[in-house]
Amino acid sequence: MAPPTIQAPPPAWRKARRAASLLGFVLIAAWCAWWGASVSRGRLLFAERTWIRIPAFGVDFLRNTDRPTRVWMSGENAYGDKELLFCYPPIVTRLFSWTTLTTPERSLRIWIAVLAVLAAAGAVSAARWRAQLGLEPIPDSLAVALVLFSTPVLFAIERGNYDLLILPFLIAGVALSRRRSSRAETIAGLLLATAIWLKLYPGLLLLGLLALGRFRLAAWTSTWLAVIGLSDLAELRQFLLNSAIHVQRAVYVARMAGGPPEAHPWNHPLGLTWQSLWGGTPLALVPGDVGAALLIGSLAAWLSWRVFRCEEGQRLALPYLLWLVAAGTFFPPVSNDYNLAPLLLALLAVWSRRDPWSHVAVAALLAWWQPVQLPLSGRVVLFMKLAGLIAVAFTIAHRADDRHRGAAEESPNQPGSGR
């Protein structure tokens, strides 16, 4: 089936789009100037005025990625230090072995540039996916600017964390899987399995593949997950041990003040903060992990069913899978907002000025999306993120209904399935 027809925009809309494109280039230039000055000084200028609140330029990269990789490359045990815990999967040291070719400081500068490129590429991919759904186009430059200035991307680059590395594996896997050949699905499964192993919370992608009717791709992804995980059992056990220690320490620190742990404006560990989030309501009696699993799990199951019953569900693959990755970030007990960029990309891919749910999603996320901190409590900000997650899910479901109705109206003599 040919892609949905996009009606030619009226002259006024074309003029507004040109202005938006120009605005996007101006904002990108301003962003590059800001970060150029920040990198030269070794700190993000004006970071204290953003939602980051407590700047720590490059700390996640230098301490949690670069240092363990150098230890591993020297032939020593990257998981051996129990003070500076390395609690990332073994695949990380392999993917970051390039850092040993230069100094940590230069590696950080390179990685900052790579993160910016990854975020920009994700924005362009999301903006161009809109054509699959027959939605009004968004200029690439404006999409890139909106993503680069967003809180999760600024946070990820300032810390040097690698959550954005999930994007190229996910996007490339989705693009390659559209060929539907055995070879393409085998490679796509490897890419998606790599995305899952990078941070584990993208594990919900397996549910997404089933909902999209891509059973062979799901099988290949599961196979590659096993191959990658079992390739070094000794390191896998050490990773699991360090992860458990990391979680125990995080929970202990969160409870030191007494009472249930509270959410900060820059993180969203839903299970850990469940009691404080719902304090004063009957929901506070529900165990945190159970409550988070019920809320996020039921929402993911509902959206997956809506996508599954859509005849052209494949047209929703990228925004739907991005949403699942974002939903998965609410489960870990240590979950900072630099991992929420996929939620913004999913919204960029499905937003429509004609859809009320799109506007609800933007309204829910806007105060947090823009980087300047506001006098809001962590509880309020977490409610905003949850409202945005729910609204984006409803927006994707709306798109699924649109495509389902469109497929039903097709002539029965024409191929009508997007699966």
3-class SS string, the chain: CCCCCCCCCCHHHHHHHHHHHHHHHHHHHHHHHHHHHHHHHCCCCCHHHECCCCCCCCHHHHHHHHHHHHHHHCCCCCCCCCCCCCCCCCHHHHHCHHHHHCCHHHHHHHHHHHHHHHHHHHHHHHHHHHHHHCCCCCCHHHHHHHHHCCHHHHHHHHHCCCHHHHHHHHHHHHHHHCCCCHHHHHHHHHHHHHHHHHHCHHHHHHHHHHHCCCHHHHHHHHHHHHHHHHCCHHHHHHHHHHHHHHHHHHHHHHHCCCCCCCCCCCECCCCCCHHHHCCCCHHHHCCHHHHHHHHHHHHHHHHHHHHHCCCCHHHHHHHHHHHHHHHHCCCCCCCEHHHCHHHHHHHHHHCCCCCHHHHHHHHHHHHHHCCECCCCCHHHHHHHHHHHHHHHHHHHHHHHHHHHHHHHCCCCCCCCCCC
Residue 8 pLDDT exceeds 70: no
Greater pLDDT, 1 or 202:
202
Structure tokens that stand for 254 in this block: 């969160």
pLDDT at 408: 54
Band the pLDDT of 416: cuts 50, 70, 90: very low
Summarised one tens digit per residue, pLDDT across range 159-210 is 999 999 999 999 999 999 998 899 999 999 999 999 999 999 999 999 999 9
pLDDT at 404: 62
The answer to whether the CB of 365 falls within 8 A of the CB of 384 is yes
pLDDT at 34: 97
Specify the amino acid at residue 39: V
Q: Spell out a b/e string for 235-262, using b for 16 or more CB atoms within 10 Å of the CB, else e.
A: beebbeebbeebeeebeeebeeeeebbb
pLDDT at 418: 46
* Mean pLDDT, residues 84-88: 93
Pick from 101, 79, 68, 71: which is nearest to 232 by CA?
79
Summarised one tens digit per residue, pLDDT across range 208-257 is 999 999 999 999 999 999 999 999 999 999 999 999 999 998 888 877 76
